């Protein structure tokens, strides 16, 4: 404890002490609480993004509809994409990482608990900042075309698409402030993800339990690792690009203004250099979840664990080499087209390996079709369709036909909804008992799956032929004579069926959380370390630091194999589980935990203040507000610097376990 005995640890605030109630959530540094907050916040944004999608679909249900104005439509499709990507799928994945990563590798917390809280609060304030565009944003005088009407509040969201293509997003064509909200908001959100990626990398490399070698880590942890590296190396690129657009808009630089010698194609390169790895950032967490769910419900080990891990790493690596396939119609050279067409075909190989391994896992297993398993199977099926339509884009001339049509929309929704979101819901059901200590309603869960499955395919299936028939993206009306009306109506009906599915999920979740039957200790007869703990997980996670001797350690402690290789439950398994439960609830020695802190919240609070300062630098209060925001952040970090992580003079400051000498300090990178 020598290192925390700080002289003069008095700080500006009294340290928060309580472990329950409102303030305990604001000040927590517990990865599980942060994970839960990530989850609920992300789900709130999921509802918002979903409502935006429904408005889009009402508008497009009929030809020549006047339900939304053009500017409202622009704001809706921009914010639908931005919300679902940056405010739902990424943070809900972060929720899983936060909650599960330490549990799966046998750690008491992440490497930097308070930095973890910083990530979360920056995310919350960044998301809220982005959405305040609807309250305060202006679209400016119309630049001509069809935008001749004054924008309503609904039309005052960012409106340049989630990709924010220059020069449309530049000051010349977007004279109002809404794209400032977008560029600065994403900058803040990116900072949050960058911090958490560093945190997760250090956690994975440094905090593993004894014996948890890298190739004994669950596949979900491996996919977290790959995602963290993708974030680490791709976020700085978008940070620079967003700084450039912000400077173009606010401080008169000319990077993307072709009328002054700037280069809009540079934006596209930087954006997609980030944007394609981003696609894998969205899908890999779901792949990790599915790789945990399929073996558990097939009662077989994951088929070809090293291949799945290696394929995941290969996807991450190759994901940086395919970005220009988003730009085939942007006038890139033939060499670039050929090179990126080939690399795009090549990246299908590791993805295909994973699909085969998942099928191999189910093959011959004793499959139990519980809700998580249904969603995982749905993931595999839908992702195959989305992956195959994706490969068609690598054929450059075909891509020219498909670009900017609903075919593309169909493709990436099969990957990101049929893939990522099905996988994430699979995880939500799978770990629900761990999170709450109760079981969800299996019947409602299955209804949710089938409603989702039907609604999803009705929504996004017809988009393939709508697109190939010439229905263009990002356009708020289409003419009656195109004949696209009937299928569009079907798509809209499908979208509302999806909304019904979400409603069923919410009812199931909120009811079961309080009233569901008490979940057994290890309800799925699972394989990974988080199931060796009581549910809900106690604050200290592991009562005794675990020691791991093999991949799927928990499973091997419960099961052995007969002569045909079939799993046979060991007679002592029940006693083992009972003992784990007993020990888990009664730690033999006191355990000290990171203390809560106000500073992470303060750091988050400072971020949007700087953002408003930049946007409203012309107003008398603008620059002062920004400076105050910066001072809050700097002051918080200084206060933090003198505040020890664990309170030195607390009663229970003994170590439960001293680090043992001679642990495997191998640099098994």
Partner 1 sequence: MAEEHALAHPTPRQYVQIAVLLAILTAIEVALYYLEQSIDAFTTSIAAPLLILLAVMKFVIVVGWFMHLRYEKSLLSKFFTTGFVAAMVLYVAVLFALGAVVLL
Partner 2 sequence: MADVAHTDGHHDVHESTGIDNRKLGMWVFLSSEFMFFGALISNYMLFKGRDYSAFVPAGQSVILPRELYDIPFTSVSSFVLLMSSLTMVLAHDALASGDQNRTRVWLAATGLLGSVFIGGQVFEFTEFVQQGMTLSTNPAASAFFVLTGFHGAHVFLGILMLLSLYGISKRQGGLTESQGLNVELVGLYWHFVDIIWIVIFTIVYLIP
Active-site residue, selected from the candidate residues 31, 33, 80, 249:
80
80 is catalytic: yes
Q: Does residue 527 have an active-site annotation?
A: no
Residue 5, contacted partner among partner 1, Cu ion, partner 2, none, CB below 5-8 A by kind: partner 2
Least distance from C-beta 265 to partner 1, angstroms? Answer: 6
Question: Residue 439 region, left (φ>0) first, then alpha (ψ -120 to 50), else beta?
Answer: beta
For residue 165, state whether it binds partner 1 (rule: CB under 8 A): no
Distance set, CA 253 to CA 85, 143, 249 (Å): 28, 21, 8
Count other C-beta atoms under 10 Å from residue 146's C-beta: 12
Q: Please, what sign has the CA dihedral across residues 420, 422, 426, 429? A: positive
Q: How far is the CB of 472 from Cu ion (least distance, A)?
A: 20
Handedness of CA 91, 270, 314, 391 (dihedral sign): positive
Nearest approach in angstroms of CB 111 to partner 1 is 14
User: What radius of gyration do the chain's Cα atoms show?
Assistant: 25
Dihedral sign (CA 284, 219, 31, 430):
positive
- The CB-of-85 to Cu ion minimum distance in angstroms stands at 13
414 is catalytic: no
Is 473 tagged catalytic? yes
80 is a site residue for Cu ion (CB under 5 A): no
Q: According to CB under 8 A, which one of 67, 320, 356, 637 is a site residue for partner 1?
A: 320
The residues that bridge with 559 in the sheet, in sequence order, are 569
Q: Of 213 and 474, which CB lies nearer to partner 1 in the complex structure?
A: 213
Distance CA 154, CA 72 (A): 6
| Known catalytic residue at 579 | no
Q: Which two tokens stand for residue 521?
A: 């200790």
From the list 326, 214, 307, the residue with the least C-alpha distance to 269 is 326
Q: Where are the alpha helices (DSSP H) in 132-218?
A: 133-136, 178-206
Among 269, 325, 326, 464, binds partner 1 (CB under 8 A): 269
The entry of Cu ion, partner 2, partner 1, none near residue 276 (CB within 5 to 8 angstroms by kind) is Cu ion
Q: Which of 354, 438, 527, 592 is catalytic?
A: 354
Site for partner 1 in 176-205 (CB under 8 A): 205
Q: Is residue 165 annotated as a catalytic residue, yes or no? A: no
Q: Is 354 a catalytic residue?
A: yes
Burial of 301 from C-beta contacts in 10 A (0-12 / 13-18 / 19+): middle
- The CB-of-526 to partner 2 minimum distance in angstroms stands at 24
List the interface residues with partner 1, window 588-607 (CB under 8 A). none
Contacts of partner 1 in 247-266 (CB under 8 A):
263, 265-266
Least distance (Å) between residue 254 CB and partner 1: 16
Does residue 233 bind partner 1 (CB under 8 A)? Answer: yes
d(CA 455, CA 474): 22
> Among 600, 662, 527, which Cα is nearest to 29's?
600
Among 57, 108, 276, 411, binds Cu ion (CB under 5 A): 276
Considering beta carbons, is residue 486 or 590 the nearer one to partner 2? 590
Token code pair at residue 610: 């700087």
- 353 neighbors 311 (Cβ within 8 angstroms): yes
* 192 tagged catalytic: yes
Q: Which of partner 2, partner 1, Cu ion, none does residue 265 bind (CB under 5 to 8 Å by kind)?
A: partner 1
Note the Cα 348 to chain centre separation in Å.
22
Cα 123 versus chain centre, distance:
12
Partner interacting with residue 332 (select from Cu ion, partner 2, partner 1, none; CB below 5-8 Å by kind):
partner 1
Closest distance to partner 1 from the beta carbon of 328 (Å): 12
Binding site for partner 1 (CB under 8 A): 205, 233, 263, 265-266, 269-270, 273, 320, 324, 332-333, 336, 665, 667, 669
Active site residues: 80, 109, 162, 192-193, 276, 278, 280, 291, 325-326, 351, 354, 473
Binding site for Cu ion (CB under 5 A): 276
């Amino acid at each position: 404890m020598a290192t925390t005995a700080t002289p003069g640890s008095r700080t500006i605030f009294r340290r928060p002490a309580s472990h329950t109630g409102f303030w305990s959530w604001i000040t927590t540094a517990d990865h599980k609480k942060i994970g839960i907050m990530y989850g609920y916040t992300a789900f709130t944004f999921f509802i918002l993004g979903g409502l935006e999608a429904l408005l889009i679909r009402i508008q497009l249900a009929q030809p020549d509809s006047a339900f939304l104005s053009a500017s409202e439509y622009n704001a809706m499709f921009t914010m639908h994409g931005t919300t679902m990507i940056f405010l739902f799928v990424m943070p809900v994945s972060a929720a899983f990482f936060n909650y599960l990563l330490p549990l799966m590798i046998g750690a008491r917390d992440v490497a930097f608990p308070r930095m973890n809280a910083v990530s979360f609060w920056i995310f919350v304030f960044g998301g809220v900042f982005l959405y305040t565009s609807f309250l305060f944003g202006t679209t400016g005088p119309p630049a001509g075309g069809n935008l001749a009407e004054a924008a309503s509040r609904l039309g005052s969201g960012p409106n340049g698409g989630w990709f924010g293509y220059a020069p449309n997003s530049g000051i010349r064509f977007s004279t109002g402030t809404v794209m400032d909200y977008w560029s600065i908001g994403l900058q803040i959100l990116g900072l949050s993800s960058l911090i958490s990626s560093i945190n997760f990398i250090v956690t994975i490399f440094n905090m593993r339990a004894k014996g948890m070698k890298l190739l004994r880590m669950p596949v979900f942890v491996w996919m977290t690792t790959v995602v963290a590296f993708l974030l680490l190396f791709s976020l700085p690129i978008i940070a620079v690009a967003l700084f450039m657009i912000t400077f173009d808009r606010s401080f008169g630089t000319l990077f993307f203004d072709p009328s002054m010698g700037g280069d809009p194609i540079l934006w596209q390169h930087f954006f997609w250099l980030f944007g394609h790895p981003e696609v894998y950032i969205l899908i890999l967490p779901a792949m990790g979840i599915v790789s945990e769910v399929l073996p558990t419900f097939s009662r077989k080990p994951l088929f070809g664990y090293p291949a799945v891990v290696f394929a995941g790493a290969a996807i991450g690596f190759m994901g940086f080499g395919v970005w220009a396939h988003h730009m085939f119609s942007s006038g890139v050279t033939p060499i670039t087209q050929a090179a990126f067409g080939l690399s795009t075909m090549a990246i299908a190989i590791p993805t295909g390996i994973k699909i085969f391994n998942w099928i191999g896992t189910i093959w011959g297993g004793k499959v139990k079709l519980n809700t998580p398993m249904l969603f995982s199977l749905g993931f595999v099926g839908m992702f195959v369709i989305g992956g195959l339509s994706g490969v068609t884009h690598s054929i450059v001339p075909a891509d020219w036909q498909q670009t900017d049509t609903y075919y593309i929309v169909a493709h990436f929704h099969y990957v990101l909804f049929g893939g990522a979101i099905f996988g994430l819901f699979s995880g939500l059901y799978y770990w629900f008992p761990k999170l709450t200590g109760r079981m969800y309603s299996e019947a409602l869960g299955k209804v949710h799956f089938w409603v989702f499955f039907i609604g999803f395919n009705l929504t996004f299936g017809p988009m393939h032929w709508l697109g190939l028939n010439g229905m263009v993206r990002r356009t708020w009306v289409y003419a009656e004579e195109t004949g696209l009306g009937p299928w569009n109506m079907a798509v809209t009906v499908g979208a509302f069926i999806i909304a019904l599915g979400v409603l069923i999920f919410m009812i199931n979740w909120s009811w079961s959380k309080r009233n569901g039957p008490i979940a057994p200790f290890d309800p799925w007869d699972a394989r990974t370390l988080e199931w060796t703990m009581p549910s809900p997980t106690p604050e200290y996670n592991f009562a005794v630091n675990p020691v791991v001797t093999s991949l799927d350690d928990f499973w091997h402690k419960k099961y052995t194999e007969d002569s045909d290789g079939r799993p046979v439950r060991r007679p002592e398994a029940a006693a083992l589980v009972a003992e784990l439960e007993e020990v888990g609830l009664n730690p033999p020695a006191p355990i000290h935990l990171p203390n809560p802190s106000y500073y992470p919240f303060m750091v988050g609070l400072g971020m949007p203040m700087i953002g408003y300062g930049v946007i409203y630098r012309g107003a008398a209060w603008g620059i002062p507000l920004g400076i105050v925001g910066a001072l809050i952040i700097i002051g918080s970090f200084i206060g933090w610097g003198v505040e020890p992580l664990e309170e030195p003079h607390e009663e229970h400051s003994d170590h439960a376990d001293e680090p043992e000498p001679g642990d495997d300090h191998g640099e098994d990178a």
